[in-house]
Amino acid sequence: VTTVGKPDISREKSAELYRKSKTFFPGGVNSPVRAFKSVYGTPLFIEKGDGPYLWDADGNKFIDFCCSWGPLILGHNNAKIREKVTETALKGMTFGAPTAIENELAELILKNNKFIQKLRFVSSGTEAVMSAIRLARGYTKRDKIVKFEGCYHGHIDSLLVKAGSGLVTFGETSSAGVPESFAKETIVVPLNNIEAVKQAFTEYKDQIAAVIIEPIPANNGLLLQDVEFLMELREITSKNKSLLIFDEVISGFRVGFEGAAGFYQIQPDIITYGKIIGGGMPVGAYGASEEIMSNISPEGAVYQAGTLSGNPIAMAAGIAQLTELNRLGFYRDLNNKTKEFADAIQRFASARSYRVCVQQVGSIFWIAFSDKTKIQSAADIDPTSMEKFKIFHRECLNRGVYFGPSGYEVGFVSAAHTKIDLEMAKRTIFDALDITFK
Ligand code: PLP
């Protein structure tokens, strides 16, 4: 039975908190994606989370598919993570000196990931990528970086660039405050287009330090790449003595313990991690072969440091989370559950001839408002479809399902989402789609 005309949820307390937060923070938020700029209403202020659920300040309960933008693969407030963090916190918050717990998390990762031999912990995905880029430049003694239109790598000056016109372009800054001279070191090419990459290597012969890609691009919708394309990237970078960097801040530990490198069985030169690796605490990491990592200070000449790097509480959360992920069958169950969920939404939409394309890999999914059957590059996305998302988002919130507040954001399913939760979410989504296409 289709539900129509659900009244808006109460947002009184959230609205009040937002009025106040605007006096403290630019735009009232500490990260711009949290503002509800492209959807209806004021941002919801979150009170608490448990398992797959979120509660806002007004007491509204939601099934959450944002999962803090990816880190919460076990859901909110996981008991094992909470216990390990509490136990560790009893010994102190930070020491600025090596601790055994850093070894413990590193060992857990390196023993179960054949694509990196050594790593360095940092405190965010942005920091991981920034350090990986510096490492690539220091190692190759070259300056230019190739990035792809539609991939996000954090708010690093040289990567806050967008494509200009033309197939292979110097980046144009996409943020005020990024010098044009920095953007000139970044070459932007379209995704899934090996010809453009070849052209970049011809034009900038012997100048390209690295090609950086989200092997599973998930910041501009979910733009699944052909595996052949990723393999060709591996080949062309090796041939030109450039490094291939996989930015796995989202895909790392998400599509499998070995991330996208394991999923596609492609060996990149450097891999960056964030989100899941910290179990909900601020952790990032970058890793590579021993030989490449030996260039990092104090062993090598590439400087990189951090007061809170390898923070014990953050390491504890990471250990507790990754230990669960490493259990036999963890990814099989989570990925199957997500596929069933995404397929059901696609079937429902197709049966009613709604212009919807659901893309999914592992436990990541994206509901695109498009009649295309495959979306692989930023240019394939119709910006006007975001009007449909805006309606869809409101209808979902009013019915108790929480998505990130932008149609370009993907959804995440966690191990805490039971089949019953997913069944309920599915019905809500069906109703919301009916209203969206009314
Ligand atoms: N790289 C990718 C692929 C990301 O998705 C993000 C964040 O969403 C980052 C880097 C930056 O990570 P952080 O927000 O932790 O700085």
Non-local CB neighbours of 3 within 8 Å, separated by 6+ positions: 399, 431
The strand order across the sheet containing 364-368 reads: 357-361, 364-368, 411-412
Please count the other Cβ atoms lying within 10 Å of the Cβ belonging to residue 165: 6
- Asked if residue 133 has pLDDT above 80, the reply is yes
Q: What is the mean pLDDT of residues 254-277?
A: 98
- For range 172-181, the mean pLDDT: 88
The DSSP 8-state label assigned to residue 302 in this structure reads: B
Name residue 247's amino acid.
D
Coil vs helix vs strand at 273? strand
Q: Which of 154-163, 229-238, 382-391 has the highest mean pLDDT?
A: 229-238
Say how many Å lie between the CA of residue 250 and the centre of ligand 1. Answer: 7
- Mean pLDDT score, 291-304: 98
Q: Is the dihedral of CA 37, 42, 48, 52 positive or negative?
A: negative
The answer, yes or no, to whether residue 169 has pLDDT greater than 80, is no
pLDDT of residue 2 exceeding 80, the answer is no
Annotation says 269 is catalytic: no
Which residue has the CA at smallest separation from atom 8 of ligand 1? Answer: 154
The answer to whether 185 touches 145, Cβ cutoff 8 Å, is yes
**Cα(62)–Cα(405) distance, integer angstroms:** 14
Q: How far is the C-alpha of 422 from the C-alpha of 418, rounded, in Å?
A: 6
Per the CB < 8 A criterion, the answer to whether 149 and 216 are in contact is no
Q: Model confidence over 339-362: pLDDT tens digits?
A: 999 999 999 999 999 999 999 999
Report how far apart, in Å, the C-alpha atoms of 236 and of each of 18, 141, 205, 210, 365 are.
49, 18, 12, 11, 30
Closest CA to 272 of 248, 291, 290, 243: 248
Query: Does the structure show a pLDDT above 60 at 1?
Result: no
For the chain, how many residues are written?
Answer: 438
Q: What CATH topology corresponds to 12-64+329-436?
A: Aspartate Aminotransferase, domain 1 (3.90.1150)
Output the CA 248–ligand 1 centroid distance in Å: 9
Nearest-angstrom CA–CA distance, 384 and 389: 9
* Residue 109 to residue 1: CA distance in whole angstroms: 48
Quick one: pLDDT at residue 419?
96
Reply yes or no on whether the pLDDT at 5 is more than 70. Answer: no
Pick the CATH number of 79-325 from 3.40.640.10, 3.50.50.60, 3.40.190.10, 3.40.50.300: 3.40.640.10
Helices 330-351 and 312-325: angle between axes, nearest 10 degrees: 70
As for ligand 1, residues whose beta carbon falls within 6 Å of it are: 69, 124-126, 129, 152-154, 214, 219, 247, 249-250, 274
Q: Are 159 and 147 in contact (CB under 8 A)?
A: yes
For a substitution probing ligand 1, which of 250, 270, 406 has the most ligand atoms within 8 Å of its CB?
250
Q: Which residues are within 8 A (CB) of 149 and not within 5 positions of it... i.e. 6 or more apart?
A: 162, 163, 188, 189, 190, 191, 377, 378, 379
Q: What pLDDT score was predicted for residue 162?
A: 83
φ/ψ bin of 133: left (φ > 0), alpha (ψ from -120 to 50), beta (otherwise):
alpha
> What is the value of ipTM here, to two decimals?
0.99
Q: Which among 196, 214, 222, 227 is positioned nearest to 358, based on CA atoms?
A: 222
DSSP bridge pairs for 119: 287
pLDDT of residue 3: 52
Please state the rounded mean pLDDT for residues 390-397: 97
Q: Region 247-265: what's the mean pLDDT?
A: 98
How far apart are alpha carbons 54 and 76 in whole angstroms?
8
Average pLDDT, the chain: 96
Tell me the average pLDDT across 43-52.
98
CA of 405 relative to ligand 1 center, distance in Å: 17
Single out the residue of 204, 219, 190 nearest to residue 69, CA to CA: 219
The domains of the chain are located at 12-64+329-436, 79-325
**In the prediction, which pLDDT does 354 show?**
98
pLDDT tens digits for 324-340? Answer: 999 999 999 999 999 99
Closest-CA residue, ligand 1 atom 7, reads 154
Comparing C-alpha atoms, which of 325, 130, 127 is closest to residue 212?
130
Percent of the chain with pLDDT over 70: 98
The proportion of the chain whose per-residue pLDDT surpasses 90, expressed as a percent, equals 93
User: Ligand 1: which of 212, 219, 364 to mutate, most ligand atoms within 8 Å of CB?
Assistant: 219
Distance, in Å, from the CA atom of 129 to the CA atom of 306, rounded to the nearest integer, reads 14
DSSP for 169-195 reads: EEEEESSTTS-HHHHTTEEEE-TT-HH
* pLDDT for the residue 170: 76
Residue 164 confidence (pLDDT) above 90: no
Rounded to whole angstroms, the Cα distance separating 22 from 103 reads 41
pLDDT category of residue 6 using cuts at 50, 70 and 90 = confident
Output the CA 71–ligand 1 centroid distance in Å: 11
Alpha-carbon distance 85 to 318, whole Å?
A: 9
Are 186 and 144 within 8 A, CB to CB? yes
Q: Is 118 a catalytic residue?
A: no
pLDDT of residue 425: 98
In the numeric block, the tokens 């009170």 are attached to 47
Q: What is the mean pLDDT of residues 384-405?
A: 96
Dist. CA 119–CA 107, nearest whole Å: 10
Strand partners, 286: 120, 272
| Residue of 298, 252, 290, 253 whose CA lies nearest to 271 | 252
Residue 274 confidence (pLDDT): 98
Q: DSSP state, 380?
A: G
Determine phi and psi for 188, rounding to 5 degrees. Answer: -110, 130
* pLDDT tens by residue, 77-126: 999 999 999 999 999 999 999 999 999 999 999 999 999 999 999 999 99
* pLDDT grade for 4, boundaries at 50, 70 and 90: low
Answer whether residue 393 shows pLDDT above 80. Answer: yes
